[in-house]
Amino acid sequence: MTTTLKKPQRSARKPKGDGHLRRGEILQAAERIFIAEGYQGATIRRIADEVGVSSTALYMHFRDKDEILLEICDGAIEELLHINTEISGQPIDAVARVRLMLDAYMDFALTNPNAYQLVFCGPAGLLSTDKQQMTRDLGDRCYDKFVGVVREIGASGRLRTGNVESAAQTLWTACHGLVALLLTRPTFNWEPREDLKAVMLDGILYGLMTD
């Protein structure tokens, strides 16, 4: 029991100079490139160059490329979860909380376009499902916060149509559609973003719930 442990020294051994910093450096460099140039531009070699190490070195700290980018996305989504948690606890009308959440969701997408697209717009097979598990869990927790408030509305009989789940999924996907197309088709002749957000929120909340 007390002997022949595989990794006892690993934790006992204090990380020396560079080792424990490297991971953070990689994440920072990857985030810069990813934000500036998106998924296609954030190649292993570019990131490694930015850090000043060989591309192989990245595999010391991450299993593969997607793990790096998804960890960046996780950071962003944690922010969203925090926002949702805060809104969910506010002592205001449930519909107002739903509106705040959806508004924050759209703002989140527009402020983190590359992270949002990677997580929510990525073609079905681009990222393998199991690698996304962590990110998915975070997203699900955001969704759960959201459903909780919609459930309140349903419990007080204010859902105009559908059940709680279908109403929540409709609200979510509608807002997703707006920001997704704003991001992926920037050359389209869009009305002002704030106008579209307002029309979307007014319309869909009015359409699905009663005051």
Measured from the CB of residue 49, what is the shortest distance to a second copy in angstroms? 20
- Tell me which residue of 165, 142, 153, 168 sits closest to 95, measured CA to CA: 153
Q: Considering the complex, state which of residue 51 and residue 150 has its C-beta at the smaller distance from a second copy.
A: 150
To which residue do tokens 């593969």 refer? 64
Structure tokens at 74: 């996780």
Instruction: Give the contact letters, 56-75, x = binds to DNA (CB under 7 A), - = no.
Output: xx-xxx--xxx---------
Q: Which residues have a Cβ under 8 Å from the Cβ of 16 and sit 6 or more positions away?
A: none
- Calculate the alpha carbon distances from 185 to 78, 109, 155, 166 in Å: 27, 14, 39, 27
Q: Are 208 and 190 in contact (CB under 8 A)?
A: no
Q: Considering the complex, state which of residue 14 and residue 124 has its C-beta at the smaller distance from DNA.
A: 14
Structure tokens at 158: 């204010």
Of the candidate spans 17-25, 28-36, 62-70, 161-169, the one that interacts with a second copy by CB under 8 A turns out to be 161-169
Of the candidate spans 17-25, 119-127, 148-156, 196-204, the one that interacts with DNA by CB under 7 A turns out to be 17-25
Q: Considering the complex, state which of residue 5 and residue 124 has its C-beta at the smaller distance from DNA.
A: 5
Residue 128 contact partner, candidates a second copy, DNA, none, CB within 5 to 8 A by sort of partner? none
Structure tokens at 76: 């962003």
Residues between 29 and 88 with contacts to a second copy, criterion CB under 8 A: 38-41
Return residues touching DNA (CB under 7 A): 6-10, 12-20, 22, 42-46, 48, 52-57, 59-61, 64-66
